Amino acid sequence: MRLEVYSHLKKNKCVRLFYARRYFKETCMSNYVLTCCSTADVSEKYLQSRDVKYVYFNYELDGVQCKDDFGRTNAPADLFKKMLAGAECRTSQVSIGEYMAFWRPFLEEGKDVLHVSLSSGVSGTYESACQAKVEIEQEFPDRKIEVVDSLQASSGYGLLVDGLADKRDEGLSFDEAVAWAKEARHRVYGWFFSTDLTFFVRGGRISKTAGLLGGMLNICPVMDVEADGSLAVKEKARGKKKAIARVVEIMTQTAERGNAYARKVFISNSECASDAQAVKELIQEKLPQTGDINIFTIGATIGVHTGPGTVATFWWGEEPRA
């Protein structure tokens, strides 16, 4: 009899705990929506798997308006081929109206919105999102809307969003998630290299003379995402093998716990998957405890500026970026 009573109480305790956890999840974890832009340069499927909502960036190709929609409108290889053939391409950020239309359904459902934007150091979209926030707050005065500047580009932006999704799933409140994102963004490191300077010359980031000499001497510029979210050429490597080795060396020096790093790595590439795979394999060799290493495709918005041949690697650092 005592055993039956104990079993009944234990069972009821487990049931109460189950419902308490579910209530907590529904009321504390699901009362806000995490959103970003397609320029986070992770796959659409990945964002969906993390329950992150997204809005498309825009670009214009020979006067035709297109969406940066994970390559559905123009696959990266096709886009680069058209541009090399002379097609004019310009990117444009998400407009204030587009942001408002994107967020409105979530707010109408009674949910708050936490949006993470592409770095203000490479785009004006953060300012547009902030203006949209001010305007739509007038429609929904009882809801919270926050825009966080990722200070990152490409899959580094995606890595921050991914980390934020983890924190949301752990139960962080809206305000706690905002505070976490604003601190954590400074610890996402991003280093790039490129084996094709054509688009860097076109965009004025590298002079024609430097581009010509770089091509002749097999020079790969090694770039990073600066603390203010801008991109800067930091070094020059003679050949992609040395560029790959240098990026992984920098990761070893700066990563959380050094060569005992155990968190995720995101790698994005523009039509050079084998180079991205080489970076992944060297990371696995030099930092064998590294968690999941995900390789993604650079989308149209970033790809228009980098062209093919660019590999970007992102990880969590021990210290904030200087």
Determine the pLDDT at residue 27. Answer: 47
Which of 309, 46, 273, 31 shows the shortest CA–CA distance to 196? 309
Determine the pLDDT at residue 146. Answer: 98
pLDDT higher than 50, residue 260: yes
Determine the pLDDT at residue 67. Answer: 96
Determine the pLDDT at residue 25. Answer: 47
49 within 8 A of 78, measured Cβ to Cβ = no
Which is higher by pLDDT, 86 or 262? Answer: 262
pLDDT higher than 80, residue 74: yes
Which is higher by pLDDT, 120 or 12? Answer: 120
Query: Whole-angstrom distance between the N-terminal and C-terminal Cα of the chain?
Result: 67
- Percent of the chain at pLDDT exceeding 70: 85
CA–CA distance, 175 with 283 (Å, rounded to integer): 35
Determine the pLDDT at residue 208. Answer: 66
Reported as a single tens digit per residue, the pLDDT across 183-204 is: 999 999 999 999 987 776 666 5
- pLDDT category at 60 given cuts 50, 70, 90 is very high
Determine the pLDDT at residue 13. Answer: 57
Q: How far is CA 201 from the centre of its chain?
A: 25
Determine the pLDDT at residue 139. Answer: 98
- Token pair 């970003």 in the structure block, residue: 36
- Name the residue type at position 36: C
Determine the pLDDT at residue 12. Answer: 63
Determine the pLDDT at residue 212. Answer: 59
Q: What is the mean pLDDT of the chain?
A: 90
- pLDDT category at 322 given cuts 50, 70, 90 is confident
pLDDT higher than 90, residue 278: yes
Residue 268 β-bridge partners: 296, 312
Domains of the chain are 30-51+97-186 (3.40.50.10440), 187-316 (3.30.1180.10)
Of 124-128, 236-240, 287-291, the one with minimum mean pLDDT is 236-240
Which is higher by pLDDT, 281 or 22? Answer: 281
Which of 154, 116, 123 shows the shortest CA–CA distance to 294? 154
Q: For 59-81, what is the mean pLDDT?
A: 93
Determine the pLDDT at residue 214. Answer: 62
CA–CA distance, 317 with 255 (Å, rounded to integer): 4
267 within 8 A of 313, measured Cβ to Cβ = yes
Of 16-20, 242-246, 309-313, the one with minimum mean pLDDT is 16-20
Determine the pLDDT at residue 2. Answer: 46
What is the enclosing helix (H) or strand (E) of 234? Answer: strand 231-238
233 within 8 A of 201, measured Cβ to Cβ = no
pLDDT higher than 70, residue 46: yes
